[in-house]
Amino acid sequence: MFKTDEECTGREYHEATKHSWLSVRRSPNRLNWDNRPASMKFYPESMPRSPLLKSVPAHNFIYHIGGITAKKSYPGVEYYLRTNPSAGALYPNELYFQASGVEGFEDGIYHFEVGSSSAVLLHPLRDDEGIEPLLGIPWRMRGLLFLVSSPYYRSAWKYKNRAFRYCLLDAGHILGSIEAASRLYNHAYRIVYDIELERLNNFFGFGREEFFLSAAICAVPEKEMIVKVPDTAIINADATGVFEPVSLIEAAYRDSMKLKGCEKEPGYPKFTFDKRRWEEAILKRRSIREFSKKAVSAAQFETIMNHLTQPVPSDCDEPVQIYAVINRVEEMQSGIRHEGGFVKVGDFSERAGYLCLEQRLGSDSAVTIFLLSNGCNYRALYQKAGVIGHRAYLVSEYLGLGCSGIGAYYDDDVNRFLEAEGMVLYALAVGA
Ligand SMILES: Cc1cc2nc3c(=O)[nH]c(=O)nc-3n(C[C@H](O)[C@H](O)[C@H](O)COP(=O)(O)O)c2cc1C
């Protein structure tokens, strides 16, 4: 049942940031290159930092969650590409973590400094200190607690009001990277949205430029050790260089801070991949820029869909509907598939590309996937779409196929095409 706007968060923001054929032409995104925000955050050099070593399992685990895997140079710009994809390669997220009883790290709160591939110690922890209470846990969690933030202007610089959607999707991809790396290291993990966000933002000394979106727990409880949040806040560093506030995004974030009627997802996804090839997929993953228009096999399609529909463990699970536009799958009719059946049959490949703002990726793919939700907790449902998107990337890569996220589409036209209600969250093109 589609809940009313008053009951749910994010609805107004989503409505206000829809693309249509007309809106895209009326207000095209013009970029001011002189005012481009930095895509990496650096704390002062005086702070202790440990380079992440391949030989230390916990270091390597962190590296797999957003480490740099390639560099691209264009006149005047260099992009450092990472294990996680990001809309426009703007990387509007930062990753922090608390390590406790983890080999290779002194107990403390760290920033993953992607630019130098190191962990910066922001706050060493005493035995009775920790961020656990801000995640609703009174005792020490031994292991790693991850926190995903967003210095949103990195994305808003380009995508303006719609950028909050990208910040959430990209954050979901980081959570998806945590899931993927956990599979490699046999860690259990679960995502946490029910966080005392205001206190956490204050503890990290954030101003309005950066805010936390989610956490992930890869740790086990030590119930005899009660902890409290450290008294002294962390001293913040600049995350963007330039910053211009975007009131619609800040209002959407404030609105999304509260959670309503959350249901837990206790289940775990069952990934049975060969670990060596899975690691290769994590490290080699790239967004495909052009498809050869070859068909994929029905077995490949089923494997991908099977992984997208597996549980995403979290404390606030929202339904995400998956629609697959079949363009080129061997021994399968073309058309729109949903929950194992066809909504309609026919060759809709050109239409699928048109809906993705006329991007060929949407037409030339074997399958163009749309994720929709009529859930109530915007922050949680959007990041879940990012996790599912990350699975699409990695499973495609594992199978020797390609994938690209697509954040730009004509929202209402997609609904009409799919004959489905619900917010359109994300599109993904998969193929050969
Ligand atoms: C949320 C999201 C939306 C994206 N949207 C598009 C898109 O509309 N068109 C496109 O060609 N690529 C899109 N991409 C792919 C990015 O451009 C790509 O991830 C980025 O350039 C980094 O390259 P890499 O994925 O190869 O590391 C998107 C990626 C994400 C995560």
Residues 183 and 58 placed together within one structural domain of the fold: yes
Verify that 78 and 227 share a domain, yes or no.
Answer: yes
pLDDT at 1 over 60: no
Q: Could you write out the DSSP letters of every residue in 81-104?
A: EESS--GGG----EEEEEEES-TT
Whether pTM > 0.75 for this model: the answer is yes
Percent of the chain at pLDDT exceeding 90 = 93
Instruction: Please give the number of the atom of ligand 1 that sits closest to the Cα of 289.
Output: 11
**pLDDT(79) > 90:** no
Same domain, residue pair 357 and 243: no
Chain-centroid distance of CA 249 in Å reads: 17
Range of the domain at 411: 287-431
* Ligand 1 centroid to residue 403 C-alpha, Å: 9
Residue 332 forms part of a structural domain: yes
Tens-digit pLDDT profile for residues 239-268:
999 999 999 999 999 999 999 999 999 999
Q: Is 90 exceeded by the pLDDT of residue 385?
A: yes
Q: Do 296 and 229 belong together in one domain?
A: no
Of 381 and 79, more confident? 381
Instruction: Give yes or no: residues 168 and 299 share one domain.
Output: no
CA 55 – ligand 1 centroid, Å: 31
Q: How many residues does the chain have?
A: 432
Residue 343: band (very low, low, confident or very high) from pLDDT cuts 50, 70, 90: very high
In Å, the largest CA–CA distance within the chain is 63
Q: Give distance in angstroms: CA of 306 to centre of ligand 1.
A: 23
Asked if the structure places residue 46 within a domain, the reply is: yes
Tell which one of 406, 414, 426 to mutate to probe ligand 1, the residue whose CB is within 8 A of the most ligand atoms. Answer: 406
Atom of ligand 1 nearest to the CA of 386: 1
Is 277 among the domain residues? no
Q: Is residue 318 located within the same domain as residue 237? A: no
Q: Are residues 60 and 201 in the same domain?
A: yes
Question: 387: CA distance to ligand 1 center in Å?
Answer: 14
Model confidence at 4, in pLDDT bands (50, 70, 90)?
low
406 Cα to the center of ligand 1, angstroms: 6
| Domain shared by 40 and 99, yes or no | yes
How many A from CA of 170 to the centre of ligand 1?
Answer: 10
Q: What is the CA radius of gyration of the chain?
A: 21
**Can you tell me which atom of ligand 1 is nearest the CA of 286?**
26
Closest residue (by CA) to atom 9 of ligand 1? 406
| Span 42-70, pLDDT tens digits | 999 999 999 999 999 999 999 999 999 99
**Res 2 pLDDT > 60:** no
Q: Of 235, 257, 279, which one is at a domain's C-terminal end?
A: 257
Same domain, 67 and 214: yes
How many angstroms separate the CA atoms of 263 and 271, rounded? 23
User: Which residue CA neighbors atom 30 of ligand 1 most closely?
Assistant: 87
* Helix, strand, or coil (residue 400): coil
Which pLDDT score is estimated for 76? 80
Query: Which tokens in the block code for residue 60?
Result: 């390597």
CB atoms within 10 A of CB 357: 17
Number of domains in the chain: 2
- How far apart are the C-alpha atoms of 87 and 100, rounded to whole Å? 33
Say if residue 227 is in the same domain as residue 80: yes
Pocket of ligand 1 (CB under 6 A): 81, 85-89, 166, 169-170, 173, 286-287, 359, 361, 404-408
Residue-wise pLDDT tens digits, 295-323 = 999 999 999 999 999 999 999 999 999 99
Q: How far is the CA of 172 from the centre of ligand 1 (A)?
A: 14
Which of 86, 360, 382, 430 has the most ligand 1 atoms within 8 A of CB, as the residue to mutate? 86
Residue 171 in any domain: the answer is: yes
Q: Assess contact for 214 and 175: CB atoms under 8 A.
A: yes
Whether 57 maps to a domain, the answer reads yes
Instruction: Place 290 in a pLDDT band, splitting at 50, 70 and 90.
Output: very high
**What pLDDT does 5 receive?**
67
Question: Strand, coil or helix: what is 384?
Answer: helix
Task: Match 């597996």 to its residue by tokens.
Answer: 310
CA of 287 to the centre of ligand 1 (A): 6
Considering only CA atoms, which residue is closest to atom 10 of ligand 1?
406
Residue 280 lies in a domain: no
Task: Name the domain boundary from 242, 257, 272.
Answer: 257
Q: Is residue 267 part of a domain?
A: no
Look up the CATH number of the domain holding residue 395: 3.40.109.10
Residue 142: which pLDDT band, with cuts at 50, 70 and 90? very high
Q: How far is the CA of 262 from the centre of ligand 1 (A)?
A: 30
Is there a domain that residue 262 lies in? no
Please give the share of the chain, as a percent, with pLDDT higher than 70: 99
Distances in Å between the alpha carbon of 178 and those of 166, 187, 390, 406?
18, 10, 10, 21
210-226 β-sheet, strand order: 49-51, 118-124, 108-113, 94-100, 139-151, 210-226, 190-192
pLDDT in tens, 23-42: 999 987 789 888 999 999 99
99 and 137 housed in the same domain: yes
Mean pLDDT of the chain: 96
Ligand 1: distance of its center to the CA of 416 in Å? Answer: 25
Is a pLDDT exceeding 90 seen at residue 200? yes
How many CB atoms are closer than 10 A to CB 84? 29
Phi and psi at residue 380, to the nearest 5°: -75, -45
Distance between CA atoms of 64 and 67, rounded to whole angstroms?
6
| pLDDT reported for residue 74 | 86
Rounded to whole angstroms, the Cα distance separating 180 from 200 reads 26
Ligand 1 atom having least distance to the Cα of 361? 11
Q: Assess whether 336 and 378 both reside in one domain.
A: yes
Question: Which atom of ligand 1 has the smallest separation from the CA of 70?
Answer: 27
